[in-house]
Structure 1
Amino acid sequence: MSWTVDDARDLYGVKRWGNEYFDINADGDAVVLLEEDGAVHEVSLQKIVEGLRERGSEMPVILRFKSLLDGQIRRLNEAFNQAIEEANYAGNYRGVYPIKVNQQQQIIEEITSFGEQYHYGLEAGSKPELIAALAYMHDKEAYLVCNGYKDDEFVDLALMANQMGMRVILVLEMPGELPAIIARSKALGIRPELGIRFRLSTKSEGHWAESGGDRSVFGLNSPQLIDAVEILKEADMLDCLKLFHYHQGSQLPNIRSIRESATEAVRVFVSLAQEGAPMEILDMGGGLAIDYDGSHTNASSSCNYSLSEYTTNLIEVVKMHCDEAGVSHPTLVTESGRAVSAYYSVLVFNILDTTRFACPEEPEAPSADAHDMVQNLWQTRLNINERDLQGCFNDAMFYRDQVRELFRHGLVTLRERASAETIYWHICTRIAAHADQMDEVPEDVQSLQANLIDFYYANFSVFQSLPDAWAIDQLFPIMPIHKLGQKPTNRAILADITCDCDGKIDRFIDGEGTSPYLNVHDRQPGEEYNIGVFLVGAYQETLGDLHNLLGDPHVASIGIKNGKVTYNHELEGDTVADVLSYVEYDPKDLEKRFRHFAEEAVTEGLISAKQRKEILNAYRVGLSGYTYYEG
């Protein structure tokens, strides 16, 4: 049967993980679905990239889509509001976005702007995040939740913002914070709004399960919680305690563990209310998962629940236990950072080169005077049959290894060795093709597929742009963004340009779990071939490092106006001078040192004065250039 776009959708799972934001069009391009005034527009990612190239941008580039960020904020709030209405829940929902998930200015500005209609707030875990939040969030009905370590400057800023009418809530992460907050409150004459983070005994599942349980790093345990209540009573400040907070980790895959955690948390919330604290807010932390692999299971890169199930379960648990205790329904807060921002960004990079191991084409016959072992390998290729694939593979391995050993002793030329290697890979390719059609395949032959995976060299850094893929084996949806109307015939690992053995992606999403290769199209030398990595808006932009001094890539914010694509905000990626300054080099000093070196070369007669000028100009151009490969 001929290949269709539907086959591409199925192969790359775009309908499973795309959340109705991504698809493939009839031309075989990956598309993003952007909304404008209620109308949805299908925009080709390949056409966006072509537009950026026409404007002078190089790959790699991060594409940001404001429409998708807005869409996730809308979906989250509407799901909670619907669950509240259906359950006759008496409280409200007020989400907050954890700035640490993606601290970029554009995302904070958009969240505070679009989110104002839902009184959507922010969570700050450090003094820089608090300072950024205070500049952008001025909605007096939204919450600014302050977690993390807090020095006097941090506390003072939060208290002063309270005085200005903001709902800034200082959450106690450790017992030692409370006396300091009370002291600053009395010194300034401003009563705080306080919250307490509790260390639940219930443990969750997934990669971040250690965020919960008795040994979790942050939060107070039961005795410390009671001590805090007593300290507040003694200070006549128990009325300041209004929020209870817990956090079970990011990317929680199982709705059952979410429900169990919520049950324990509500019990503690109710107990604090019974202690006399005017508890108003239940902050249920983050954890709302993204279905990265589209499997809809409790795998760490997926989730076995929908957004509607998530909100309905939380509302049901809180309502039931509050009603039993006769406690008013609290305002619910979630800190859903990943679920809000993941879809927002797509990383696109181009393939620079390839190394092919599969060799389906018939190789050239060895010369008549080639060594006998090379001739024997050539003959082996004629004897491939399904009845004895193992024997054919054994013969090919033996003759190939013999040729290599003879080369080490100088008895075979480099040309003969090259001929033998080509014949060997052709034999392996044909054996693997036979094996694909068989039900029972010898174990050694099964391993051939892994040995036939190509390397596609990609113009990006895993360490800079996809740090979680390297550090914690996070899976991201990855696929070509064009040529999808053609059947991909090659299998590849993506190697970045860091020349580091860890600088690669060799785990990919497929319909049955994970695959050690990505299905890709054959790429001819010089041909443009672009790959997209999706759902990278959470954590990836700010966790990256400067491995090989490869800096931030270009960024382009894409929107729709009057039905046409707009390039709203373009940020140039780091230059060579930028990244060198990050590691304490002074670009001016570098140029000065190199100029002195070039002048010595003139003095020694190695170059002319005119050549010195050209060389210095090349050095300056290099300093101002992009850190990635420029075509």
Structure 2
Amino acid sequence: MNTKYIDLIDQSFDFPQPEFELQDKTLQFHGIDLMELVEQYGAPLKFTYLPQISNNIQRAKTWFSDAFKKHDYKGKYNYCYCTKSSHFKHVLEEALRNDIHIETSSAFDLDIVKSLKKAGKITNDTYVLSNGFKREQYILNVAELINSGHKNCIPIIDNYEELDLLSQEINKKFNVGIRIASEEEPKFEFYTSRLGIGYKNIVPFYKNQIQDNKQVELKMLHFFINTGIRDNAYYWNELAKCLKVYTSLKKICPTLDSLNIGGGFPIKNSLAFDFDYAYMVDEIVNQIKTVCDEEGVDTPNIFTEFGSFTVGESGGAIYEVLYQKQQNDREKWNMINSSFITTLPDTWAINKRFIMLPINRWNDSYERVLLGGLTCDSDDYYNSEQHVNAIYLPKYSKDKPLYIGFFNTGAYQETIGGFGGLQHCLIPSPKHILIQRNGNGDLTTEIFAEQQKSEDLLNILGYGSTEKVEAQTKFEKINYN
């Protein structure tokens, strides 16, 4: 009988897959022996496999290069990384190795830009696209960057006041973009995005505020779909409307030469994931060229803003199953030694789906379970709603430790979870490991952050670093590993 966990996976999915395989009965991720990682660093554990960031950037560049050649597309392609997906230095430095540009969302993002410039990681030729609703500090930081000579810093106008605010602080000629307020999918609670300027108002806005303004040149139209790039009627309809605005604007604005098709690619969230990236890129390029040719305008340079696609598939989290609770005749709860709310907050907030697989015991029989976190919050769980399908894992055994991994978790989870700060129920943030490959292709690891200690949390709470409170001693004795 095929009753082992490996049999279940073989019957349900194509396995092994490019990033997943078994060796010595344990799971490998991009050639990383995950049980070896657990044995060295313990669990709970978070890790970032940095080479995957470069891998995905290069994949996207290849898709666009191939599409440009196929359609004889005249224009340049510029890959931008959305810093909001993960602001960490190791992520930005890995991404910037690939001759890319960046998109910012807030005032403090530009402090990161200044730090990267000082370190020589970016130059004045690097595009810095500044999105989002801008007020005093963000305006001042954009102005400081442009005034210092960063010619390719392009603030993307989000509302009718921003241009005047920028003009008051910038002391030279500068370029801008305009963001389209796209219409959201019918399932949304609102009809039009709060970000940007409505389709019908963009040409009048250009005529009223930019056309005769000697200080400003319009270079870019920014098109963003909240649900990302998908092969569905909604996406193609919104792209067609965007191209209509672009060609109308281009006819009266000769400086306009770039189209930013913001809104990211999906990332793999199950072993059954199937998305034809190359087809989507090819069709987007084809649509842009076709419409521009029909309207008799030059094809624009194409910018993309990929955040989750850039960094998401580099991340992972590993937990140990501490205990199993049989709550009724049907439901078995496997309790992990951390919290979903604090370490994978999107599973709790938006039912985000991640790939979940056991690290070891693939040759054992399996059972259907629910997964529960350590907090005393009833929402701290992961089940079939987040996972697409029912969750099956090797059968719990008190004498045989079981480790499980969540993969492609590299985007947003640290910033939404409040990395380094307070966590729900004071559950500590786990240790975080960076994984790289050296010049010989061998894996190297380093500790980016140790697991939080009780004194870290007590300091934030105002109890002070020198107080030897009894609660601290008790807290440190808790075995989270």
TM-score calculated relative to the size of structure 1: 0.69
Aligned CA distance change for structure 1 residues 3 and 558 (closer, same or farther; 3 Å) = farther
Aligned to 2:384: 507
2:166 to 173, 178, 181: 181
Aligned mates of 2:186, 2:444 — CA distance in 1: 41
- After superposition, residues 155-554 of structure 1 pair within 5 angstroms as 155-162=139-146, 163-185=148-170, 189-201=171-183, 203-204=184-185, 214-222=191-199, 224-225=201-202, 226-237=204-215, 240-296=217-273, 305-356=275-326, 451-488=329-366, 490-507=367-384, 513-515=388-390, 518-544=391-417, 546-554=423-431
C-alpha contact 2:6 2:362 (8 A) present in aligned 1:
no
C-alpha contact 1:293 1:509 (8 A) present in aligned 2:
no
For structure 1, the 5+ residue unaligned runs are: 34-41, 53-57, 297-303, 358-424, 426-450, 595-615
**Residue identity opposite 1:10 in structure 2:** D
Aligned mates of 1:551, 1:241 — CA distance in 2: 48
C-alpha contact 2:154 2:176 (8 A) present in aligned 1:
yes
Aligned mates of 2:12, 2:454 — CA distance in 1: 35
Per the alignment, in what secondary structure is the counterpart of residue 57 of structure 2? helix
Aligned to 2:21: 24
Aligned mates of 1:500, 1:541 — CA distance in 2: 20
Residue 69 of structure 1 deviates from its aligned partner by 1.2
Residue 205 of structure 1 deviates from its aligned partner by 7.5
Aligned CA distance change for structure 1 residues 570 and 157 (closer, same or farther; 3 Å) = closer
1:123 to 92, 103, 106: 103
Residue 341 of structure 1 deviates from its aligned partner by 1.4
**Residue identity opposite 2:39 in structure 1:** E
More strand by share: 2
**Residue identity opposite 1:134 in structure 2:** K
Aligned CA distance change for structure 1 residues 331 and 484 (closer, same or farther; 3 Å) = same
> How big is each residue's C-alpha offset from its partner over 1:101-132, in whole Å with a ceiling of 9 and x where there is no partner?
122222112112x222xxx1111110111211
Per the alignment, in what secondary structure is the counterpart of residue 158 of structure 1? helix
> How big is each residue's C-alpha offset from its partner over 1:583-603, in whole Å with a ceiling of 9 and x where there is no partner?
x32323753xx4xxxxxxxxx
> How big is each residue's C-alpha offset from its partner over 1:503-543, in whole Å with a ceiling of 9 and x where there is no partner?
11122677xx522xx21222332532111011111111211
Aligned mates of 2:322, 2:167 — CA distance in 1: 59
**Which moves more between the two structures, 85-94 or 97-106?**
97-106
Aligned mates of 1:564, 1:28 — CA distance in 2: 22
Aligned CA distance change for structure 1 residues 531 and 205 (closer, same or farther; 3 Å) = farther
C-alpha contact 1:97 1:122 (8 A) present in aligned 2:
yes
C-alpha contact 1:5 1:26 (8 A) present in aligned 2:
no
Aligned mates of 1:170, 1:196 — CA distance in 2: 8
Aligned mates of 1:315, 1:492 — CA distance in 2: 45
2:67 to 57, 65, 83: 83
Aligned CA distance change for structure 1 residues 15 and 147 (closer, same or farther; 3 Å) = farther
**Residue identity opposite 1:71 in structure 2:** N
Matched, 1:134 2:114: yes
Aligned to 1:10: 10
Residue 79 of structure 1 deviates from its aligned partner by 1.0
For structure 2, the 5+ residue unaligned runs are: none
C-alpha contact 2:436 2:445 (8 A) present in aligned 1:
yes
Residue 622 of structure 1 deviates from its aligned partner by 5.4
Aligned mates of 2:376, 2:249 — CA distance in 1: 56
Aligned CA distance change for structure 1 residues 531 and 5 (closer, same or farther; 3 Å) = closer
Aligned to 1:301: none
C-alpha contact 2:5 2:362 (8 A) present in aligned 1:
yes
> How big is each residue's C-alpha offset from its partner over 1:518-573, in whole Å with a ceiling of 9 and x where there is no partner?
21222332532111011111111211152102242210012334454321343213
The higher-RCO structure (CA 8 Å, 6+ apart) is 2
Aligned mates of 1:241, 1:233 — CA distance in 2: 8
C-alpha contact 1:252 1:289 (8 A) present in aligned 2:
yes
C-alpha contact 2:5 2:393 (8 A) present in aligned 1:
no
Aligned CA distance change for structure 1 residues 218 and 229 (closer, same or farther; 3 Å) = same
Aligned mates of 2:122, 2:441 — CA distance in 1: 32
Aligned mates of 1:460, 1:205 — CA distance in 2: 37
Per the alignment, in what secondary structure is the counterpart of residue 63 of structure 1? strand
Per the alignment, in what secondary structure is the counterpart of residue 95 of structure 1? strand
**Residue identity opposite 1:145 in structure 2:** L
TM-score calculated relative to the size of structure 2: 0.89
Per the alignment, in what secondary structure is the counterpart of residue 465 of structure 2? helix
Aligned mates of 1:85, 1:279 — CA distance in 2: 23
Whichever of the two has the greater Rg, that structure is: 1
**Residue identity opposite 2:308 in structure 1:** R
Aligned CA distance change for structure 1 residues 508 and 153 (closer, same or farther; 3 Å) = closer
**Residue identity opposite 1:333 in structure 2:** F
Aligned residues: 470
Aligned mates of 1:346, 1:313 — CA distance in 2: 32
Per the alignment, in what secondary structure is the counterpart of residue 329 of structure 1? coil
> How big is each residue's C-alpha offset from its partner over 1:381-408, in whole Å with a ceiling of 9 and x where there is no partner?
xxxxxxxxxxxxxxxxxxxxxxxxxxxx
Aligned CA distance change for structure 1 residues 315 and 478 (closer, same or farther; 3 Å) = same
Aligned to 2:58: 74
Aligned mates of 1:81, 1:205 — CA distance in 2: 34
Aligned mates of 2:200, 2:231 — CA distance in 1: 29
Residue 253 of structure 1 deviates from its aligned partner by 4.2
Q: Give the aligned CA root-mean-square deviation in angstroms.
A: 2.7
